[in-house]
Each structure stands twice: as structure tokens, then as C-alpha cells.
Structure 1
Amino acid sequence: MKRVILYLFISVISFVNAQNQNPETLFEQANSLYKADKFNEAVKKYKEIEKEGYISDVLYYNLGNSYYKLNQIGPSIFYYEKALKVNPNNKDAKNNLIFANRLALDKIEEVPNSVLENISDNFIMKLSYNQWAVLAVVMAFVGALFFLIYYFSFTSKKKLIFFNISIISLVIFGISFFFAIKNHDLITSDVEAIVFTEKVPVKEAPKMNSETLYDLHEGTKVKVLEIDGEWSKVKIANGNEGWIQSESYREF
């Protein structure tokens, strides 16, 4: 009898522990800690979810908010950027990223976008590649469905309407499919990162004794162009390039 009771007790404890590791449970706990102004504890809970491999713009947004409250500008900008990479239409992350960037020390004037870059930002990057892919699948289904309806319709008026709808759907499918591929290519080809070191010298060459061109500070966004051992060649928003130590930034 004692063994049965012990077995049941262990089973209950195991079940409770399993429930405590549930991402939804951890998320609720983290949110409660955030609302109670316990930001360090909230970060730990959110990070537990992240370590499990979950990808969510809401999770990254909440992490950004927690670090912002802790006045850790680099990590807050890092997670707002991650949130926008998952969901470019997250307006809260966009707005909070603006506030966080204002606290960063480096005020870098961006080079004006080219026509192609404007097209990319205003159309291709308006949705994530997953969202474009879903739209493409939906439009392919709609196009095929209305083509079947057109094929089995009897009146010429209905056939014309259903045929036009199927053609329009297939055109949107083609555009969405192209944008999904282009979006994915742009994201995977451009390696972007946030500087996490308080102050990092940008060198002319990947050597410590090389000439220092300028300094970057925590929270600055860079594009990684090349990696050479412990050094990375980076480019900042105004087009300037240089070498920094790879340990000074984190890719998002």
C-alpha cells in the first residue's frame, strides 16, 4: 500500500513539474512577473521559453519590453528587431524600437534608400516570407477552385466571371510566391546584428593594432559582411564599414 501511495505521489509531482514547463504556463508566469515589476525574473521565464525553440514575435516583444524596463538598451533593441523579423507588422514592436533607439548612444544618419530598396521595404518586406507563402497557397487553392467552377458552369456569363476570378487568383499566387522567395533570400543573405558591448572600436583591418576608424556603442545595428576568425567586417546605416570583434555583437 505504501508503495502505491509513493508511486502516486511521484506521479503527481512529475505531472505538476511537466505542467510547470508548459510554454503557455511559463508565458503566463512571465507576464505576471512583468506586471509585478519583477523584470529580471520575467526575463528568466521568457528565456526559458526561447530556449525550448519557440519562435514568436509576441515572446520577443515581451523580452524587449522587459530589457527596456531594466534599461538594457542593447538586448531590448535586439529583441524588438527579432520580433519584427518574425512579424514585420507588429506595430507595438515598431513603436517601442523607435523609443529604444533614441536611448542608444550612436546617432547614425541612414543613407537614403534606392528605388529597389524602397520597393523591397514597401512591398516585399511588408509581410514575412511565411505570410507570403500562406497567401500564395490560399490563392493557388482559390484559383484552382474557381477554375473548376468555371469548367462545370453552363452559362457564358458565369463562366466569364469564374474564369476571371481564377486568373486574378493565380496572378496573385504568382506575385505572392515570388515575394515569399525574394523575402526569404533577403533575410538569409543579409546578416544583421546588434552591438552588445558598451563600447567597441571599429578597426581598419582585422587586427587589434590596426587603426581605429570610429567607435560603436551598445544598441547599434550593423550588417555583417564578412567574418575572419574572431573579427567581423560590418557596415552601419550611413554606409561606413570596418572590423569589430565578433564577440561584441549578436545576430538576430
Structure 2
Amino acid sequence: MKTRIYFLILLFAMAFNGFSQDNRFIQGNELYTEGKYEEAIEMYEGVLQSGLESSGLYYNLGNSYYKSGQLPEAILNYERALLLAPQNEDIRYNLELAYSQTADEIDQVGTFFLTKWFQNIRSLNDSDGWAFYSIIAFVIFLIGLGLYLFGRNVALKKAAFAFAVIFLMVSGATLSFSSHQKTKLVERSHAIIFTPTVNIKSSPDQSGTDLFVLHEGTKLELISKLGEWWNVRLQDGSEGWIHESDVKVI
């Protein structure tokens, strides 16, 4: 279990996100290192309730829940941390470790290897990081375009043109990555089951037929909502309905 606390990340957040006005996250770190996980949870949750968040804060909170034996809460916070820092291997490792201890073993629908490769590349950075690379690539494109338009050497103009085209494509691709990561943050489309055992229904009501049983900690894709019921999909493609009180949106 990787339990490295992100002191530097949280100090950075303190400087730029207003944590300096609330020292509860520092107290939470100290309580965590002392093994007082429930008290650390209280501190971290207090910071979140004040409207401040960071990947390091969610990660530390997830670790605290994990150490206190609260698996669904740990998974939820690891998932939220990963949304903010998709490139962080420590978060991903702990999340996979937590999922390995859930009761449900669900086979994922096979993904074409090129699609998976593309998804892995996209997860190497967050929205802001990809946006930064997109701007840099676009600036290089403009330089190449300028050399092509105003250069006098034919060989240089040809090289500059190819250079400009390549970096225009890179700028477009990284901008697309940035947009996708931003959409994942804004449109939360997954949830974690918090009820120990729940029946997935065939329709959005308690009288619906029981399709299958799931347990706490399982991740669901949220397709649509009708009243107090979510239409959900599992990684194996199975669908059904679950009451909103049984899940928490990531």
C-alpha cells in the first residue's frame, strides 16, 4: 500500500487555492502519520466542505478511509483524485488495490488495442497540462508558418512547411485531449455503490424485476436518470436501474 502523503502538492494548493486560510489539512496530515485515521478523515472532509479541493487532498482522504477499513469511501476519493491527476501512478496503484478487495469481479468488455493505446496517452496529463502543450505546439506552428511565408531558401521553406503542419496537428490533438479531460471533470458520469448489497432492477421502481446483485465498492457508469433512479451500465455491458441513495457520484 503506497501511503506517501503529498505535502508538496498540498503546500502548493495552500499557496494558490486558499488553503492558507485553513490549517485543517496540515492537522489531517499529522493525524494520519500518527495513525489517527478517523480524526484525519474529519479534518480532510472539513477542508472539502469549505469548497477547496486538490488531487493530493482526495488521495490522502482515500488513504485514511482505506486504513480505517471503509473501502467504498476510499475508492470514491481515489477516483476523484484520479480525475484531477490522471497521470499520477500512486493514485492509480492504490485505486486498483482497493478495487481488488471488492466482492464483485466484473469482466471488462474488450477494447481495440489502438483505442486503449489512445486512451492511455490521453491519461498521461490533465486538462490544464494538455492545454499548455497545445499552446506551445501552436506557437511552434506559427514560427514554422512564418519561416515558410518569409523564408528565401527553398529547402528551408519546404522544411518549415512540413514542420508547421506537424505541430498544427499536435496542437489540435492535445487540445482535443484537454477538452476530453475537462469534460470528465465537469460531467461526472460514474458512481460507486455504497450499499453493502443491492439488487439491480429491470425498471426504475422497487417492483421491478431483480436482474443481478452488486456490492459496495463497485463502479457504475451513469447513463440517464428518471426521478430517483439511475440507469447504469457495468464494465461488461450489463445494464439496469439503481436507486440514487445506493450510490455516490464520483
User: TM-score, with normalisation over the residues of structure 1?
Assistant: 0.80
Q: Is the contact made by 1:190 and 1:223 (CA closer than 8 Å) also made in structure 2?
A: no
Match of 2:81 in 1: 83
Residues 127-179 of structure 1: per-residue CA shift (max 9 Å, x gap) = 33332222111222233345556767676676666655444332311221233
Aligned length: 233
1:125 positional shift? 3.6
Residues 19-63 of structure 1: per-residue CA shift (max 9 Å, x gap) = x97367332221111001111111122122222333321111111
Residue correspondence of structure 1 range 1-252 to structure 2 within 5 A: 22=20, 25-114=23-112, 117-145=115-143, 147-148=145-146, 165-185=163-183, 191-252=189-250
Question: Mean alpha-carbon deviation: is it higher for 98-107 or for 21-30?
Answer: 21-30
**Superposed CA RMSD:** 2.7
Gaps of 5+ in 2: 1-17
Instruction: Compare the two structures and name the one with the higher helix fraction.
Output: 1
Separation (CA, whole Å) in 2 of partners of 1:125 and 1:167 = 25
Identity %: 31
Separation (CA, whole Å) in 2 of partners of 1:189 and 1:22 = 29
Gaps of 5+ in 1: 1-19
1:205 positional shift? 1.1
Residues 76-132 of structure 1: per-residue CA shift (max 9 Å, x gap) = 111111111111111011111121112111111111124574254223344333322
Q: Is the contact made by 2:197 and 2:213 (CA closer than 8 Å) also made in structure 1?
A: yes
Separation (CA, whole Å) in 2 of partners of 1:157 and 1:23 = 59
Residues 197-240 of structure 1: per-residue CA shift (max 9 Å, x gap) = 11111111111122211111110000011211111111111111
Larger radius of gyration: 1
Question: Mean alpha-carbon deviation: is it higher for 62-71 or for 125-134?
Answer: 125-134
Where 1:54 maps in the other structure, the secondary structure is coil
Q: Structure 2 vs 1, CA of residues 111 and 23 (structure 1 numbering), >3 Å: closer, same or farther? A: farther
Amino acid at match of 2:226: D
Where 1:213 maps in the other structure, the secondary structure is strand
